[in-house]
Structure 1
Amino acid sequence: MNPVTTASNPTGAAVKPQGCTNLKLRQLMRRVAQHYDSEVGKSGLKGTQYSLLSYVVKLGPIRAVDLAAEMKVSTSTLSRNLQPLVAAGWLAVGPGVDARSHLISATEAGQAKRAEAQRRWRVAQEGINRALGVERVVALHSLLDEAMARLSPGDGDDELSP
């Protein structure tokens, strides 16, 4: 392990992680999600609904299987999450290229709802930037991207990448 010099470790002595990384990430995720949900919720959408609506606005019309792959969720999870947005009239499911396929698209009302929620999302993002500091947010994004790449399964392996 490489020595790390920080404010809490000024000598740069080798350090060992304390506690469970999974627990710490889950706690952080809950806190961040609460922050975004409280702001985006003012638009009438949950954070997950805003994300789904945003994907469809950006990529649609799109087949459910392709949308699920883009969002990295199962088709059953996608189907369950689509239902309230379709019921609200924000998304529509129409015919696809053949009788078995369907295309998901955002309605005009859905595009307007997404724009409203996007304004609330920006407020939430600016709040995170203020609370953590922009430099820390940029560093966090970089660290998360690197961790995701390192932990992604490789060419069919069940093992995590080194």
Structure 2
Amino acid sequence: MLSNPDSVPFSATLHVRDTCLCLHVQRAARALARTFDTALKPVGLNNGQFSLMMSLNRPQPATMKSVCDLLAMDRTTLTAALKVLHARGWIGSFIDPKDKRGRLLTLTEDGRAVLAKALPIWEATHAELDAALPGGNADQLRDSLKAVS
């Protein structure tokens, strides 16, 4: 059999499959996203929208930059996600009086009501997931994920 110096052995594929942190985190993220999407569907939210709305649940309106930083999201992606929530009347945005180039974001009264319905669903779903972790140590997993993010 001829050896091809440009080929990668199948054993390397198996090694990556079994050890790649990025692959395992991506798979887990997709599974968690599906779980929360299903759970939050009755209130008309998906997991990303829930996280976005929670990021706006603060005493003062949020800047686009602060939300992008919190959610590790670029401005274009945030703008697209906001359009859906704005069309539903769940968020408001207005020009930042301190910086006319920027916008401030806030939850509307309807948005707060939806978030109030969604939170108990999130809490119950999260409790089930936490309990299902080996050793029930969700805090250790969170700490490990924070260390690499």
Q: Shorter-chain TM-score category?
A: 0.7 to 0.9
1:73-152, aligned counterparts within 5 Å?
73-97=73-97, 98-132=99-133, 135-148=136-149
Structure with greater proportional strand content: 2
SS in 1 for 2:89: coil
Distance 2:44 2:91 in 1: 15
Task: Identify the range of structure 1 (37-46 vs 60-69) with the bigger mean alpha-carbon deviation.
Answer: 60-69
Distance 1:86 1:63 in 2: 15
Task: Identify the range of structure 1 (139-148 vs 29-38) with the bigger mean alpha-carbon deviation.
Answer: 139-148
SS in 2 for 1:25: helix
**Compared with structure 1, are the counterparts of its residues 113 and 140 closer, same or farther at alpha carbon in structure 2 (3 Å cutoff)?**
same
Distance 1:64 1:115 in 2: 23
Q: Partner residue of 2:48?
A: 48
Task: Identify the range of structure 1 (128-137 vs 53-62) with the bigger mean alpha-carbon deviation.
Answer: 128-137
Distance 2:117 2:38 in 1: 14
Q: Could you tell me how far 1:113 is from its partner in structure 2?
A: 0.8
The answer as to whether partners of 2:43 and 2:114 remain within 8 angstroms in 1 is yes
The answer as to whether partners of 1:41 and 1:47 remain within 8 angstroms in 2 is no
TM-score by length of structure 2 reads: 0.78
Unpaired segments ≥5 residues, structure 2? 1-14
Distance 2:69 2:20 in 1: 30
1:27-66, aligned counterparts within 5 Å?
27-58=27-58, 60-66=60-66
Distance 2:135 2:116 in 1: 24
Unpaired segments ≥5 residues, structure 1? 1-15, 149-162
Q: Sequence identity, in percent?
A: 24
Which amino acid in structure 2 is aligned with residue 31 of structure 1?
A
* Cα-Cα RMSD: 2.1
Count of residues in correspondence between the two structures: 133
TM-score by length of structure 1 reads: 0.72
